[in-house]
Amino acid sequence: MKPFSDKKKSLIINPLGDNGFHFAFNFENPTGVKLLTNSAAQRLISIINDEKPIDLNNSIDFSLNKSGLITEAILNTKSSDKKLSVWLHAVDACNLSCFYCYIPKLKKAVAIESNTLNKFSMNSQDAIVIADNLIAYCKNNEIENLHVKFAGGEPALNINLIDYFCAHIKKQSDIFVSFGMLTNGVFDSSQVIPVLQRHKISLSISLDGYELSHDEIRFEIVGKRKHGTWAKIFENIQSALSVDIHPYFLYTITPSNNSDLFKFSDFIHELGLGYRLSLIRSKESYPSEIQYEIIGNLSKLYRNLGENLDVNLPIARYAKFSEWNIKKKKDIVCTSSRKYVAIDQNGNISSCQMNMNNKFGNLLKNELELSLGRMKTDSHLLKIASPNLRDGICNSCEYFYVCSGGCPEHTIKSFGTIDVPSPWCKVFGSLVPIYIESIARQMLKNVRNKI
Ligand code: SF4
Ligand code: SF4
């Protein structure tokens, strides 16, 4: 295997058509896409070619330096250690049954009013102990910022517990606690929306393609018949918007839905809302034809967004791709096993939602500290918990600090090691330059609108 691009990690400076503007991006030190006038671009090229040394009294050199393009003195603030994010698995069951769901052993296609639901749900006594032990851990470790993301399964199946948990944890401490909920959008809005409002819970909804392809995969079983969920979700989106809750959408790209990207994207942007695209994380790799089809559709989509997306909907937020953050140097995509853990409905602690079969301790027994210690020495998680130990060939890829090799659990599940490129390497590597250029084109459009 080879890294996608083994050119020297470098700075690109490319023209944006014949208008004199250029854009620059530092792959070695990502601090965002920079739009440059022709004179700034020429000056940057001359600095790189060692034609004239940097003079910080010169205003162009000063700005180039400040932008992070020509120096390691990064604007990139090192992300604070004082944050903990928790995936709280409020219920180990779901009302739908998506074939690619990666939550191990989840009880699927459960009816909302089912009597068996309790068996799979977190209960209120445990929720209090979990909340108290999370706060205690944050205090002991001087963590000022705790983010709890309610998930499952379908967290709305246990919405009363979520209400109870939020009310309790907010009373416990002066630590800043924020909440999010990741749902499939198929819920009773009269019950769920008031809870979201009461606790300022941000709402993320997963969709799967546009109407028809979505309904093929995401359906409920009513009287042995499949009922697509698109219409119900759309109703719930309208209910959320009517009380000023702006949902964010998550779209898992699969071979069967990648041709719907355009329709989906237009639909969400017409509502003035944003989304994140990610690639299916299944164990098997997809054949080259499928990868090229996905590359083709994603490339068309981002080229189009760069030219046409409303400048008030910045691509990096409103059409985000994967876990990419082009303003931050990242050597791994997530903080799993360090500042991020998943807690199941019984308090068991795992490194993340993709690895919930592996339990490292239990929060009901106050074992978060112990669990994080165990993750650091676990052979499977060693390099996720300590990414500086990675020695794979992604490290020598030009795009490493943007792509960061993709989801490490996915790579490990596919190849048994983190030290090889992601199963989606071809797609990532092909899309990085297009994604960056699309952001630059949208920035240029913004500048032109102001002239
Ligand atoms: S997975 Fe990403 S970082 Fe690794 S070689 Fe491929 S494009 Fe480069
Ligand atoms: S390992 Fe993958 S699934 Fe788990 S938190 Fe990281 S990016 Fe997400």
* DSSP-assigned states of every residue in 403-415: HTTS-HHHHHHHH
User: 421 in ligand 1 pocket by Cβ < 6 Å?
Assistant: yes
CA distance 382 to 80: 21
Q: Is 394 in the pocket of ligand 1 (CB under 6 A)?
A: yes
pLDDT at position 71, please? 58
Ligand 1 binding pocket includes 425 (Cβ within 6 Å): yes
Task: For ligand 2, atom 3, name the residue with the nearest CA.
Answer: 354
Ligand 2-lining residues (CB < 6 angstroms): 323, 333-334, 336, 352, 354, 407-409
Ligand 1 in reach of 405 Cβ (< 6 A): yes
Q: How far apart are CA 25 and CA 12, in angstroms?
A: 5
Take atom 6 of ligand 2 and give the residue whose Cα is closest.
334
E strand or H helix at 23, and its extent?
strand 22-26
Of the residues 283, 409, 411, which should be mutated to test ligand 2's pocket, given the most ligand atoms within 8 Å of the CB?
A: 409
Distance CA 90, CA 226 (A): 26
DSSP 333: S
Return the residue whose CA atom lies nearest to atom 6 of ligand 1: 425
Sheet holding 176-183, edge to edge: 319-321, 274-279, 248-253, 201-207, 176-183, 145-151, 83-89, 340-343, 348-350, 361-362
pLDDT for residue 68: 74
Q: Under 8 Å CB-to-CB from 224, ≥6 apart: which residues?
A: none
Compute the distance between CA of residue 149 and CA of residue 399 in angstroms, rounded to an integer: 30
- Ligand (nearest to CA of 420): 1
432-to-14, 304, 405 alpha-carbon distances in Å: 14, 15, 12
Per-residue pLDDT of the chain (451 residues; tens, 9 = 90+): 777 887 776 889 999 987 889 999 999 889 999 999 999 999 888 888 877 778 888 888 888 887 777 754 334 444 456 899 999 999 988 888 777 777 767 777 666 566 678 888 999 999 999 999 999 999 999 999 999 999 978 999 999 999 999 999 998 778 999 999 999 999 999 999 999 999 999 999 999 889 888 888 888 877 778 889 999 999 999 999 999 999 999 999 998 899 999 999 999 999 999 999 999 998 877 889 999 999 999 999 999 999 999 999 999 999 999 999 999 999 999 999 999 999 999 999 999 999 999 999 999 999 999 999 999 999 999 999 999 999 888 999 999 999 999 999 999 999 999 999 999 999 999 999 999 999 999 999 998 887 7
Could you tell me the distance, in angstroms and rounded to a whole number, from the CA of residue 69 to the centre of ligand 2? 30
The identity of residue 369, as a single letter, is E
First to last CA, the chain: 48
- Ligand 2 pocket test, pick from 320, 334, 412 with the greatest ligand atom count within 8 Å of Cβ, gives 334
Position 63 scores a pLDDT of: 84
Ligand 1 center from residue 422 Cα (angstroms): 7
**AA identity, residue 183:** T
DSSP secondary structure string for all residues of 82-102: SEEEEEEE-BSB-SS--TT--
| Ligand (nearest to CA of 400) | 1
Q: Which residue has the tokens 């948990």?
A: 165
Q: pTM of the prediction?
A: 0.92
What is the pairing mode between strands 83-89 and 145-151? parallel
Q: How far apart are CA 427 and CA 296, in angstroms?
A: 9
* pLDDT for the residue numbered 83: 94
Contacts within 8 Å (CB) and 24+ apart, 309-317: 309/269, 309/442, 310/269, 311/442, 311/445, 311/446, 311/449, 313/269, 313/272, 313/274, 314/439, 314/442, 315/435, 315/438, 315/439, 315/442, 316/439, 317/274
- Give yes or no for residue 274 CB within 6 A of ligand 1: no
